[in-house]
């Protein structure tokens, strides 16, 4: 486990309320058994992917680890939120069942506003087509690298900078909700969301493995992030929020 300390954005400081958020990446999906390939330009934008059997086992193990940690909490209760993507929803069901079986009280947090904030980043339309062309020439080009550096060049797509602003709104949403309920929040989400949420606080983290969990403790004076997982190198240093471009 690594611990990083970063600064708190002004908007979060103004909210002035401590909040504890556990961000868990969905487990391993299988995109090939019931749908088109990832880079198939004819694939529906909302193509989901469902959990592999090994993915179910992985999220079960990660859930057991969280249940052990939550077992030491005085109230032993959490609020569970999830991205609307199927791979995240299926992961959240396993997490909820595991927590309940371990004696943890679980309440679901669901709203249309939250669903919009939690959906993952996507490559669509011309942006996806251009990535496909460049990926053929550069086999080491990941969609995330391409999205960060090029999404601002295309119309009618959510750029990396826009996505970062959405993640800032997500933090404030959770903070406001926590202020009303004084609850620990567990959120099933996606790797790019976890990375950018950490980056908002000036923290570059390692690749988040499927089932990996990041704990964020936010208060008006400091922000501590505990990162569990290994390997990786991608950071978001290469774009500036103010200018909106690399």
The whole-angstrom separation of Cα 50 and Cα 43 is 15
pLDDT reading at 213 higher than 70 = yes
Closest CA to 60 of 38, 93, 36, 105: 93
Rounded mean pLDDT, 84-109? 92
* Placement of tokens 């958020």 in the chain: 21
Confidence class for position 57, pLDDT limits 50, 70, 90: very high
Q: What is the pLDDT of residues 137-191, one digit of tens each?
A: 998 888 878 888 888 888 878 888 888 888 888 888 888 887 777 778 999 998 8
User: How far from 51 is each of 58, 62, 87, CA to CA, in Å?
Assistant: 10, 15, 6
pLDDT at 182: 73
Domain regions of the chain by residue span: 2-122+158-227
CATH number of 2-122+158-227: 3.40.50.1240
Supply 44's token pair.
């529906």
- Which residue, among 3, 4, 10, 5, has the nearest Cα to 241 in the 3D structure? 10
Q: Write down the pTM of the prediction.
A: 0.77
Range with the poorest average pLDDT among 42-56, 91-105, 229-243: 229-243
| Lowest-pLDDT range of 56-60, 121-125, 221-225, 240-244 | 240-244
Q: Does the pLDDT of residue 198 top 80, yes or no?
A: no
């Amino acid at each position: 486990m690594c611990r990083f300390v970063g600064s708190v954005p002004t908007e979060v400081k103004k909210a002035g309320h401590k909040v504890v958020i556990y961000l868990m990446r969905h487990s391993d999906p299988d995109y090939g058994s019931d749908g088109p390939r990832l880079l198939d330009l004819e694939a529906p934008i909302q193509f989901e992917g469902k959990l592999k059997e090994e993915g179910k086992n992985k999220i079960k193990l990660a859930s057991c680890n969280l249940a052990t940690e939550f077992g030491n909490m005085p109230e032993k209760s959490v609020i569970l939120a999830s991205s609307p993507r199927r791979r995240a929803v299926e992961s959240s069901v396993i997490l909820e069942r595991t927590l309940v079986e371990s004696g943890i009280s679980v309440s679901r947090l669901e709203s249309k506003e939250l669903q919009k904030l939690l959906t993952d980043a996507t490559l669509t339309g011309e942006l996806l087509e251009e990535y496909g062309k460049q990926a053929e020439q550069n086999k080491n080009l990941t969609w995330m690298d391409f999205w960060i550096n090029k999404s601002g060049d295309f119309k009618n797509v959510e750029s990396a900078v826009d996505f970062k602003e959405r993640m800032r709104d997500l933090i404030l949403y959770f903070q406001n909700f926590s202020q009303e309920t004084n609850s620990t929040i567990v959120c099933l989400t996606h790797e790019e969301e976890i990375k950018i949420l950490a980056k908002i606080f000036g923290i570059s983290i390692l690749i988040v493995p499927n089932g990996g969990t990041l704990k964020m403790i936010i208060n008006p004076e400091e922000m501590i992030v505990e990162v569990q997982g290994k390997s990786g190198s991608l950071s978001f240093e290469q774009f500036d929020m103010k200018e909106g471009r690399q």
